Chains A and B, each alone.
Chain A
Amino acid sequence: MGRRSFLRASAVLTTGLAALAASLKPLLEMNDFPTMERFLQKYYKEMTPEEMKKVLTRIENEVEQQYKLRPHVRDLKPMDGVEYVYCLNLTRCIGCRKCVHACVAENNQSRDPEIQYIRVLRLPDGSLDVDKAEHFYAPPSVPEKGFFYMPVQCQQCKYPPCVKVCPVHATWQEPDGITVVDYDWCIGCRYCEAACPYWARRFNFTKPAAIPAERLNLDMSYLGNRPRRQGVMEKCHFCIQRTRAGRYPACLEVCPAGARKFGNILDPSSEVSYILKSKRVFIQLKEEMGTSPRFFYYFDV
C-alpha cells in the first residue's frame, strides 16, 4: 500500500469511527442499563424456590439502594379453591375517582408520567355505549344529574385475548383467575395492549420516575406492585399483594359509596356469590367478545 492511499484509508476510517461514536453517544444517557444478573434472569415459572428467593432479595436490595427503605417483597402463590370475582354497583358509584388514586398509591405506579389502571367513564343515563363516554369529566362536584359512572379496569377475563397473543408467555392467567405479567420477562412488543378489548393494559414508555419515599408502598409482591422498569407492560392484578394475603383490593377499601364488592366465587357464602345469584341485572362489559370477564357490573333492583 502506498503512502498516499494509506493516509487516505486511515482518514476515511477515522472519520467513520468518529461518526459512529457520535451516533452512539445517546447511550451514555441510558436510564436503566441491565446488569448481567438481570439480563440472564429466568422466566417466573421456571425459577426454583431458591432462585426466586435470590431474585426477591435482589429486588429488595435495589429498592433499598434507591429509597433507603427496605421493602418486603414476596412471591405469594394462589390459594386452593379460590377464584376471584369483582362486582361493581353502578347505582352506587358516584364517579369520585378515589379508586383511581388509591390504586396508584397502593401499586407503586409511575407518577410521571402517571400510570393509572382504572379509568372512570361518565355515561349519559340510558346508554352503555362506551363511544358516548366522557373520560375527562371535571365538574365542581359529583355525581352529576343525567349521568352515571362506570369505572373500567382489567376485567380478569376467563378467556383473555392478551394472554393468547403474547409471543413470550410473559403474561398468563393464574389458577385464581388473575392475569399477571412477569415484568422481567416482557419484551415490550405491546401486542397485548392492542389485543385487550377493555384498554386495561399500561406500558412504561420511559423509566418510571421515583416515587417520594414516604409514599412508597413497602408491602410488595413479584407479580404485583414491585417497582417496574422502562419498556414493560403492566396492568391491574386485583392487588395481588393484598388479596392473596386475605385483604381487599385498595380500590374497594377506599370507595366511599360502597359500590365495589370482591370475593371468592367458589365460596357459595361469599358476598360476590350472593350478588350474582340475587341481582337480576348484571353486565359483563363487551360480553359479545366472548372473553367472559370476572368483573361484573350490576344495578340495585
Chain B
Amino acid sequence: MMRATRNYLVFLRRCAALAFEGDWRYYAWMGLLTVLCLLGLNAYCRQFAHGLIVTGMSDEVSWGVYIANFTFLVGVAAAAVMMVIPVYIYKNEDLHDLVIFGELLAVAAILMCLAFVTVDLGRPDRFWHLIPGIGQFNFPRSMLSWDVLVLNGYLLLNVHICGYLLYCRYRKKKPAKWFYIPFVFIAIVWAVSIHTVTAFLYVGLGGRPFWNSSIVGPRFLASAFTAGPALIILAMQVVRRVTSTSAPAAGLSVLGKALPPPSKHRAATLEDLEVLARDLLEMASVPMETRRRILPMAEVLEVQSGGVLLQQGETDDRAFLILSGSVVVVREEGGRFRVTRTAGPGEQVGEVSALHGTPRMATAVAEEPSVVLSLPAGALRLLMESPQVNKIIRSRMSERLLITDRALMTLRSIVQVSMLINVFLLVNEVFKEFYSGNLHDASTKYLFVGLEHHHALVPWIWTAIAFNLTAMVLLVLPVSRSLKWLNLTCVLCIVGIWIEKGMGLVIPGFIPTPLGEMMEYRPSVNEALVCFGIWAFGLLCYTVFLRMSVPILQGRLSKENEAAPDGPIPAAAVPPEG
C-alpha cells in the first residue's frame, strides 16, 4: 500500500515537472495564457468586490455571456463521447489512440463550465449552500441541482478514466477492464445526460416561450456533436504538429534515408529466449517444445545506435522483440516526424505489419546499441499461441501515439451528420415560430429580424447561420477531405455554433421581458475579460494535460526510467519543432 502510494506520488511529481519543461514556444504560449488568466482573475476580483453591476446584465437580461459560454462548453464536454462510442462500441481502431485526448478535452471543458457558473453567482461565498448534506440541495426539483450533480460526476468519471489509463501506460501494465470499462459506459450515458440536463434548464421554464420548446434538447445534442468533434479535429492537428519535428532529432538523422540493415546477425539460441523471458514474464508460459520450433526461424541482431530495424512504408513480415537496449519508433507524416512509441527490453516492434501483412506504419531505430530477436510472422504466431503472450502483445499493439488522417476523417463524418441534423432542427424551430405567427414569437423575431428598432443580435445570428450553412455545404462536398478545407470548416462550425447556442439561445430568451419590455444586452469589458480569462484557463489546463500525457503515450515517461535523473525528456518528445 505504502509502496503503491509512493509510486503514484512519484508519477504525479514527474507529470507535474513536465508542465514546466518545453522550448521557448511552449513558454511563450503558457506565458500568454497565464497573462490572460491573471487579467481575467483581476476582472473577476473587481466583480467580486463591486457585484455583478460591472457586467452588462440587468434585471431584464439576467443571464449573459457567462451562461452562454457555459452552455456551449457543456456541449464540448459531452462531445468527447463521440470518440468513445466508435471505439468501445464499434471497435474503431483509428479513433482508439485519440480517446484519451477527447476525454482530457472533456475534463478541461468541464473545468471551464464550473468556472463560468461560479463567476455568474451573485454570492460565490455561499457556494456551500449547494453541497448536499451540508447545505440545502433542492434535488430533484431544481434542474440546476441536477446540473451540479451531473457536471461534477462527469468530471470525476473522466478524471478517473484518463488518469487510470495513463497511469497504466506509465507503468506499462495492462489496464484492468473491470476498473475502467464500466465507467466508460457510464460516461457515455452521462455525457448525453449533462447536455440534456443543461437543455432542461431552459426548456423547463414555462414563462419563457423561446426556451420552452421540446426541440431544444435534441438541438443541444446535435450542435454539441458538431462543435465538439470539430474542436477535437483542430486540437489533434495541433498535437500532431507540436509532437513532431520538421527534421528528425539529433541521433535520429538517419530517418528518411535508405540505410543498410543492421550488420551483425546470428542464429538465436535457447539462452536468447531466456534473456527475453527475464523482461517478458509471459514467456514462462511458452513450453520448451514451442521454443524449439521457433528457434530455427529466429535470428538475433545486434544493432548500433541509429541502426534501422524497419522502415515506414515497406512490407515485410518480421517482428522484433528487444532483448537489450532501446528502440524508438518514429512516424513520418507530411514531411514531419513524430515518436509514436519507444520499446525497451521485453517489448516488441513491427508486430502489426507482421501479423496483418500491412505496410510498416513507422520506422524503428535503435536509440542505443541494442540486441533484438527477429521473428518472422510464423514464429510470432507460434509464440502467441500462449494466451498470456498473445494478451500482452495484443495489448501493447495499441500503446502508441498515432493520429492518422483516417481518424480525422472519421471525426469529419461525425461532424457532417451532426451538422445536417443541427441545421434541420433549427429549420424546424424557425418554421414553427414564424409560420404559426402567434403571440409567443417575439423573441424569435427579435433574434432574426429585430423588434421595435432593437436588433443587436440580428447580425450575429445571420453570421451564425451563414457559417453553419457554409460548413454544412463544405462537409457534404468531397473538398473537406483535404485537411486545409476541413480546418476551415471546423472553425466555421465552432464559431457558428458558439453564436447560435450561446448568445443566440440565452440572450433572446430574455428579450422582450415577460412584461413586454425591450431591453438589450451587451457584455461589458470587465465581463469579456473574465470570459477570456476562463477560456485561457481552460486552454492552459488542456495544454498541461497534453504535455503530460503525450510522453506517457509515447513511452518516453514510464516507471522504468524513473531512476534516470529528471533531465528533460529526450528531444524528439519535447513539443514544438527544434
Contacts and interface: CB of A to CB of B under 8 A. Distances in A.
**Interaction A to B:** yes
A168 B513 CA distance: 25
A161 to B, nearest CB: 6
Contacts of A212: none
A138 to B, nearest CB: 15
Contact of B122 (A31, A189, A199): A189
A232 B514 CA distance: 21
A291 to B, nearest CB: 8
Which of B51, B53, B60 has the most CB atoms of chain A within a 10 A radius of its CB?
A: B51
Given A20-B38, A231-B123, A289-B206, A167 B130 contact: yes
Given A24-B41, A27-B45, A168-B136, A194 B126 contact: no
B406 interface: no
Given A34-B125, A187-B122, A26 B45 contact: yes
A67 to B, nearest CB: 21
Interface in B119-156: 120-127, 129-130, 135-138, 141-145, 148
A20 B201 CA distance: 35
B438 to A, nearest CB: 11
Contact of B515 (A189, A198, A201, A289): A198
B527 to A, nearest CB: 12
A152 B439 CA distance: 20
Interface string B37-58: 0110110011011111100011
Given A161-B206, A232-B122, A30 B142 contact: no
A170 B123 CA distance: 12
Nearest to A196: B207
A50 interface: no
A202 interface: yes
A53 B52 CA distance: 32
Interface string B194-222: 00000001001111100000000000000
A159 B248 CA distance: 70
A186 B145 contact: no
B442 interface: yes
Interface in A219-259: 230-233
A206 interface: yes
A168 B137 contact: yes
Interface residues of B, number: 56
B49 A195 contact: no
A119 interface: yes
B566 interface: no
Contact of B138 (A121, A168, A194): A168
A26 B53 contact: no
A143 interface: no
A187 B129 contact: yes
Contacts of A19: 35, 38
Which of B45, B46, B126, B513 has the most CB atoms of chain A within a 10 A radius of its CB?
A: B126
B517 interface: yes
Interface string A122-142: 000000011111010000000
Interface string A153-197: 000000001001111111000000000000001111111011111
B512 interface: yes
Given A34-B125, A186-B122, 9 more contacts: A19-B35, A43-B129, A167-B142, A167-B148, A185-B126, A186-B126, A191-B144, A194-B509, A196-B207
Interface of B: 35, 38-39, 41-42, 45-46, 48-53, 57-60, 62-63, 117, 120-127, 129-130, 135-138, 141-145, 148, 201, 204-208, 439, 442, 509-510, 512-517
17 contacts: A25-B42, A26-B48, A27-B48, A31-B49, A166-B138, A188-B121, A188-B122, A189-B117, A189-B121, A190-B120, A194-B62, A202-B59, A203-B52, A205-B51, A206-B51, A230-B122, A233-B122
